[in-house]
Amino acid sequence: MTRREALCVPTVPFAHQAAVNAEIDRSVSECVVGPVDNSNGAAPIVVVRKGNDTIRICVDFSTGLNDGIMLHQHPLQTVENVFNKPNCRELSF
């Protein structure tokens, strides 16, 4: 990944910091997101308070973060390749 420009991202308001930290900890414990030691990219977040007094964390990926993701693509087999493979046993009718 190439070095990206630093984003000028506003900080989370102090009144929301405890709730944001709790939501991030919950997301990590449920394996929704994972911790990283060091990252070459970042995306700004928007914190939205929901009607039931919980919060939703929304991430703005339009800043170009997705452009730097290295894809791990595996070729899919075609139907012909799957059905033309030799079988380990013979079928008799």
Position 6 in a domain = no
**C-alpha span between 55 and 53 (Å, rounded):** 7
* Domain count within the chain: 1
pLDDT of res. 7: 57
pLDDT of res. 5: 59
Q: If pLDDT is split at 50, 70 and 90, which confidence band does 13 have? A: confident
Position 56 in a domain = yes
Domain span at 46: 14-83
Position 25 in a domain = yes
Position 45 in a domain = yes
Instruction: Give the model confidence (pLDDT) of 31-89 as tens digits.
Output: 988 888 887 777 788 888 899 988 999 888 777 766 767 777 778 778 777 777 666 45
Position 5 in a domain = no
**C-alpha span between 19 and 71 (Å, rounded):** 33
Q: Is the pTM of this model over 0.75?
A: no
